[in-house]
Structure 1
Amino acid sequence: MKLKTEVCIVGAGPGGALLAYLLAKKNVSVILIERNKDVAKEFRGEHLNEEGEAILKHHGLFEKVEQLGLLRMETLEYWVNGKLFKMIHPQPNIGHLGIHVPQAHLLMAIIEEARKYPHFSLMTNTRLLDLIQDEKGCFKGVIATHEGEEIFIESNLVIGADGRFSTVRKKSGIDVTVRKHGYDLLWAKIPAPPNWEPSIKMALIDGMQLSVFTQARGYIQIGWNIKEGSFSELRKQPFTPFIDKLIKAFPQLEETVRRHINSWQDFVLLDVHSNYTETWGRAGLALIGDAVHTMTPTGAFGLNSAMKDADTLAAILTRETLSNIDLLNCAAQRKKEVDKLQAIQLEKEQNFATQFLIYS
């Protein structure tokens, strides 16, 4: 099967979906492909900051997401030995310290709006196989499988929005530099106790960060930093003393933790790293989001940065500029902002323990 479009976007996460919607609004034909059958797959970086909120509001999407469900964080708290010792409240003009938005809600709202435009097409269960290039090396589309059938999508521009292990990036030959941060992350999602207030709670356990984030729909997310590569040895040790440290840090979680976290298998291990590329695109191709600048969980910048990439790129793309897009200037603008954010992440990670020096 052969298809033709002006822009083919690979990856229907928040960045890819938002870009597809914004381009369809500008009468640019877009095919958005996603390897999963359901675009509303579970995602762990689901917190909007002020920038992400502003982008959604600017494009008339925030209210639609809010109708589906979100949760504003009311406090940032630091705990030591089961006691609260510092609390930060939001600035009145902002009204929150981050917003938890289930990815399903975010993507549903964006794609529902995109489907109102005839120039938008979503193809799920579609896996990228290769990129198409002309004799001059310019990218002209993709080869993929859609529900088992090989398809060819011809396009003026290919966008890689397919995550930290981007196939588009690999197939285009763009090099990436990976930076390890010295820690891995144990992640768990459990029901929140009754009357749990929307908050972000922090503790220091064995010199490493432990975070508890309230989520919409009555859950909390636990993010527990451990030394990089240590999990294989850690899981050989008894589980109870390990989980007792979590309960000691946040005693109010004891009942729900003991009910829902009973073994090492109840945690998901996440490999934490950041990466960046010097090249954000080539002739006929551009990268956005984690495909070009993977973030660590620190500061919850990843989701928001992907949407900012999409917003910035959509602003300079029109049907007339597709074949002569100034990707260099677009990338230069965003690269400075991303470099700054990744530096902030490193600083926050390195200085996290100083929040607790009063008790050292």
Structure 2
Amino acid sequence: MHKKVDVCIVGGGPGGALLANLLAKQNVSVLLVERTNNFAKTFRGEHLNEEGESVLKQHGIYERIEQLGLLKMETLEYWHQGECIKTILPDEKVGHLGIHVPQAHLLQAILEQAKHYPLFDYVLNTTVKELIQNEQGQYTAVRAVQNGKELLIESQLIIGADGRYSSIRKLANIDTTVRSHGYDLLWARIPAPANWSPSIKMALVNGMQISLFTQAEGFVQIGWNIEKGSFSTLRKEPFTPFIEKLCSAFPQLAASVKEHIQSWQDFVPLDVFSSMAEQWGKNGVVLIGDAVHTMTPTGAYGLNSALMDAHLLAEVLLQNEQFDFVSCATKRKHEIERIQATQIEKEQKFSEAFVVLS
């Protein structure tokens, strides 16, 4: 099979989907390539901050997400030995401390809008195998496999929006600098207890951070920091003493925890690191989102940064007859460096919030 488009975007997460939407809206032919059989199948960050909220509102997408369902965080709470010791309320002008948007709702809203544009198209179950260069060294096509059959996609521009382990980045031989943060993360999701308020709750247990994120549709997501590389050893130890620490930190969650987290298999481990690509693009390839700057979960910046990447790159592509993304990449690189520095500072100073005055 053979397709020819102006822009081929590899990776159907929020950043890739939004960029495809914005370009197709302005009569740029776009093909969005997703390796899974469902855009929302791969887990990605689900918390919007003010920046992400602003981008979605600007492009008329936020209202549809509201209809599908979202949840605004009303408090940020710090807990110590089973009690709340500090509560932070939102700025009245903002009205929330983050917004939980189920990934399926976000992608549905973006893609519903995109499908109205004749020059938008997508393919699922499609894995990129090769980038093809012309005699001048420009990447001009993608060779992929869709449902076991070869697919050749000719494109003037190839966008890698395919996440932290980006195939496009690797195939284009773009190096990345990786930073370890000294911890990994265990994720779990359980039903929220009755009368659970929309909140983010934090605790410090044995020197490690535990975070609870209230989710739309009645769930709580648990993020438990563990020592880097320790999960293989940890899961050989007895499970009950480990989970009792979570119950002691948040007693009101104990019943739901004991019912829904009964073994190590109920946790999903995440390898935590941050990274920055040496180049944000070259020879007809451009990277956005985690493909170019992987973020840690701290502060939930990843999703919002990907949306902003897409927003700004679309502006550059549409405003410049001669595509030159250098100024856009430079601006974003400075901003991402600032955010990653903020993440490190938040991680290093997290324990300070739990200094209890006697």
5 Å matches for 1:275-294?
275-294=275-294
Shift of 1:146: 1.4
**C-alpha distance in structure 2 between counterparts of 1:3 and 1:26, whole Å:** 20
Which residue is equivalent to 2:156?
156
SS at match of 1:220: strand
Cα-to-partner distance string for 1:126-169 (whole Å, 9 max, x where unaligned) = 11011111111111121111121101110100000000000000
User: Letter of the aligned partner of 1:350 in structure 2?
Assistant: Q
TM-score where L is the length of structure 2: 0.98
Whether the 8 Å CA contact 1:130–1:143 is kept in 2: the answer is yes
Structure 1 residue runs of 4+, over 2 Å off?
Answer: 318-321
Task: Give me the whole-angstrom Cα distance separating, in 2, the residues matched to 1:4 and 1:237.
Answer: 54
CA distance in 2, matches of 1:167, 1:140: 16
The alpha carbon displacement at 1:220 in A equals 0.4
Correspondence for 2:251: 251
1:195 corresponds in structure 2 to 195
SS of the residue corresponding to residue 358 of structure 1 reads: coil
User: Structure 1 residues 244, 187: CA separation in 2 closer, same or farther (over 3 Å shift)?
Assistant: same
> Aligned partners of 2:274, 2:16: CA distance in 1, in Å?
20
From 345, 348, 351, the counterpart of 2:346: 348
Structure 2 unaligned runs (5+)?
A: none
Aligned-pair CA distance for 1:318: 2.8
Displacement after TM superposition at 1:240 (Å):
1.1
Q: Distance in 1 between matches of 2:41 and 2:237?
A: 33
Q: Secondary structure at the match of 2:318?
A: coil
Distance 2:44 2:77 in 1: 21
Does residue 358 (structure 1) correspond to residue 350 (structure 2)? The answer is no
Q: Confirm or deny: 8 A CA contact 2:44 2:303 kept in the other structure.
A: no
User: What is the alpha-carbon distance in structure 2 between the residues aligned to residue 329 and residue 147 of structure 1?
Assistant: 39
CA RMSD in angstroms comes to 1.1
* Aligned twin of 1:330: 328
- Equivalent positions of 1:33-112 (< 5 A) are 33-112=33-112
Instruction: Please tell me the residue identity of whatever aligns with 1:193.
Output: P
The within-5 A match list for 1:107-146 is 107-146=107-146
Give the deviation of 1:278 after TM superposition: 2.1
One-letter identity of the residue aligned with 1:328:
V
1:296 corresponds to 2:275: no
- The amino acid that maps onto 1:163 is G
TM superposition score normalised by structure 1? 0.98
Partner of 1:184: 184
Q: 1:110, 1:236 → 2: CA distance?
A: 43
Matched to 1:148, the amino acid is G
Any conservation in 2 of the 1:27–1:319 contact (CA below 8 Å)? no
Provide closer, same or farther for how the CA distance between residues 320 and 208 of structure 1 changes in structure 2, counting only shifts above 3 A.
Answer: closer
User: How far apart are the structure 1 equivalents of 2:314 and 2:320?
Assistant: 13
Q: Is the 8 A contact 1:208 1:225 kept in 2?
A: yes
Question: Which range moves more in the overlay, 42-51 or 79-88?
Answer: 42-51
**1:265-309, CA deviations, whole angstroms, 9 ceiling, x for partnerless residues?**
111111100110120000211000000000000000000000000
| Contiguous gaps of at least 5 residues in structure 1 | none
- Residue by residue, what CA displacement relative to the aligned partner does 1:56-101 show, whole Å, maximum 9, x if unpaired? 0000000011111100000000000000110000011100000000
Give 3-state SS (helix, strand or coil) of 2:108's partner.
helix
Q: Output the amino acid matched with 1:95.
A: G
1:235 and 2:235 matched: yes
% identical equivalent positions: 62
The alpha carbon displacement at 1:241 in A equals 1.0
1:271 to 2:277 alignment: no
**Contact 1:7/1:31 (<8 A) preserved:** yes
CA displacement at 1:42 relative to structure 2: 4.7
CA distance in 2 between partners of 1:35 and 1:334 (Å): 27
